[in-house]
Structure 1
Amino acid sequence: MPPRRRVSDLDNHLGYWLRMVSNAVSHAFAARLAKDGVTVAEWVFLRKLYDVETRAPTRLAGDLGMTKGAISKLADRLIGKGLVERTADPDDGRAHTLGLTRSGRDKVPRLAALADETDAAFFGDLEPSDRAALDRILRTLVERRGLNDVPTE
């Protein structure tokens, strides 16, 4: 039998540690959102609509790096929950726009507080300079790699 080649250990990779932290943060946030009746993807959708009155589904798909089909499914779910409404586009009778209902607009700040609390729970123990360095490094990687899809999972 030929000798085994030495291979690197899992924990020798930055991606391993990044994924460990990312998974923990994502799962904790998803669990908090679930108690409020929404998924992470729905939260992202709601948060994006919070800053605008209405948005065409195609434009929203581009903003979030999602397909029109995915946007349509999310919109349908959020309409069913009474958080989003679909209205006819006043400039194009064949098109429609999406916007938050009053309930949706009221819910976003509560959900944003959950995001802030989750962030503080996971990164609050870091020294401010370490947190700033981590933020700078991650943003640099995103920029250099041209990553622009909004995380929804």
Structure 2
Amino acid sequence: MLSSSSPSTLEAHLGYWLRMVSNGVSLSFARKVECEGVTVAEWVFLRALYDTGSVAPSQLADRMAMTKGAISKLADRLLEKSLIERRANPADRRAHTLALNREGRELVPRLAALADENDEEFFGALAPDERRRLEQLLRKIAEERELTSVPVD
């Protein structure tokens, strides 16, 4: 038997609005960082290295909740762009660490400023208390759903 009620509209779903805003924020930021010669995934990688200094790829993969293969691919791309360096581990010749080089260390603050600018463009319409509340709600959902991987795309 067919139901006489209509199915809910797209706009009736919070996920619809969340995705619309997320897509807008992400696309805008991707365009900004592309002007600096990197992708969003590369920015996330560089920002993680900025805080850690020299780190083993496996530790970076754990910290970012990414596979070692994904970290390796990102590292290779950033090595080609001369933004990081791969160093031999003196304690274990088979192992190596990754670190920002001078160019990479200088790029991170510029990219962070673009992220700040992008956030302001999208969330500047919110009052400070609304912005804090939105962040609290999104964090609550992420924690409840155990969403731990770093968003890179």
- C-alpha separation in 2, matches of 1:106 and 1:77: 18
- C-alpha separation in 2, matches of 1:43 and 1:109: 11
- CA deviations 1:12-63 (Å, max 9, x no partner) are 1000000000000000000000010000000000000001221101111111
Shift of 1:6: 2.0
Equivalent residue letter for 1:122: F
Which residue is 2:98 aligned to?
98
Which residue is 2:133 aligned to?
133
Which residue is 1:59 aligned to?
59
What SS is found at the alignment partner of 1:88? Answer: strand
What SS is found at the alignment partner of 2:152? Answer: coil
Which residue is 1:19 aligned to?
19
What SS is found at the alignment partner of 1:125? Answer: coil
Which residue is 2:6 aligned to?
6
- C-alpha separation in 2, matches of 1:117 and 1:32: 10
**Mean CA deviation greater in 13-22 or 59-68:** 59-68
Q: CA RMSD in A?
A: 1.3
- CA deviations 1:67-115 (Å, max 9, x no partner) are 1111111000000000011010122111000000100000000000000
Which residue is 1:145 aligned to?
145
- C-alpha separation in 2, matches of 1:132 and 1:51: 24
What is the count of residue pairs matched by the alignment? 153
* TM-score (ref. length: structure 2): 0.96
Shift of 1:65: 1.2
Which residue is 2:72 aligned to?
72
- C-alpha separation in 2, matches of 1:66 and 1:52: 16
What percent of counterpart residues are identical? 59
**Mean CA deviation greater in 123-132 or 13-22:** 123-132
- Runs of 5+ unmatched residues, structure 2: none
Which residue is 1:37 aligned to?
37
What SS is found at the alignment partner of 2:52? Answer: coil
- C-alpha separation in 2, matches of 1:79 and 1:58: 17
- C-alpha separation in 1, matches of 2:110 and 2:125: 23
Equivalent residue letter for 2:68: K
